[in-house]
Amino acid sequence: MELRNDVQTNLYLHKRIKPMKKLTSTLLCLLLILSIAFSLAGCKSRADKMGEQSLYAEKQMESVNKKIVKCINNKDEKGLKSLFSKNAQEESEEIDNRISELISAFNGAKIKSVEGKEPGFSGDSNTQPINIYGFYTLNLSNGDKYVIWVDFCSMDDENKENVGLYMIEMIDCTKDKLPSDFKWDGINNDKPGIFIHHIK
């Protein structure tokens, strides 16, 4: 009688455990699928975020370049100075004289268009400051081409005095005409202000 009961008990447990194993396997598979789905969703959101940051940097650079071009074409020295951050104005060497020199370097020619690739950037709204920078070719009304480096801070909630232009560095030719020993003073030394190189 006891043997029969043991057999019945084992059969009962076997019938109970088998579905539980299936249920456990199903749940594990479901959890695995969900975790993969969330991981992929996370990757997509990071990619989307990077795309949004790149678009933001591009729009900010386009806006700053337009302001720089307007000031140079209109020979607006005060306007150009106002584009620089307060800290850059205080830390740069002879910024007023450099602004005059920059505008004079165009010899009355107007900037007709600006060409360049997507700007580089560092930081985001959560890890400020946001710094945006890049090289651009200036096409002038007299047919000449100048190259300009623009570097600015677009956002710094902890120190608003950093917001604005940090550096402009310009050569009065294209990069392919630079001598082999040429050095970008501002870029290489990370100095604020305006740096002009007369290569012609």
pLDDT digits (tens, 9 = 90+) for 62-87: 999 999 999 999 999 999 999 999 99
Domain range spanning residue 186?
49-197
Here the CATH number for the domain that contains residue 179 is 3.10.450.50
**In whole angstroms, what is the distance from residue 19 CA to residue 197 CA?**
80
56 CA to centre of own chain = 8
- Give the pLDDT mean for 131-135: 97
Tell me, yes or no, whether 14 lies in a domain. no
Tell me, yes or no, whether 145 lies in a domain. yes
**In whole angstroms, what is the distance from residue 165 CA to residue 163 CA?**
7
Tell me, yes or no, whether 170 lies in a domain. yes
**Domains in the chain: how many in total?**
1
- Give the pLDDT mean for 132-137: 97
Tell me, yes or no, whether 22 lies in a domain. no
More confident residue, 159 or 40: 159
Tell me, yes or no, whether 25 lies in a domain. no
**In whole angstroms, what is the distance from residue 48 CA to residue 43 CA?**
9
60 close to 54: Cβ distance less than 8 angstroms: no
**In whole angstroms, what is the distance from residue 147 CA to residue 176 CA?**
11
The residues facing 147 across adjacent strands are 137, 171
Tell me, yes or no, whether 185 lies in a domain. yes
- Structural element, H or E, at residue 98: helix 95-104
Tell me, yes or no, whether 2 lies in a domain. no
**In whole angstroms, what is the distance from residue 120 CA to residue 138 CA?**
18
Amino acid at 82: S
Q: How confident is the model at residue 155 (pLDDT cuts 50, 70, 90)?
A: very high
**In whole angstroms, what is the distance from residue 117 CA to residue 134 CA?**
8
- Give the pLDDT mean for 20-48: 59
Tell me, yes or no, whether 35 lies in a domain. no
Q: What is the pLDDT of residue 12?
A: 45
Average pLDDT, the chain: 85
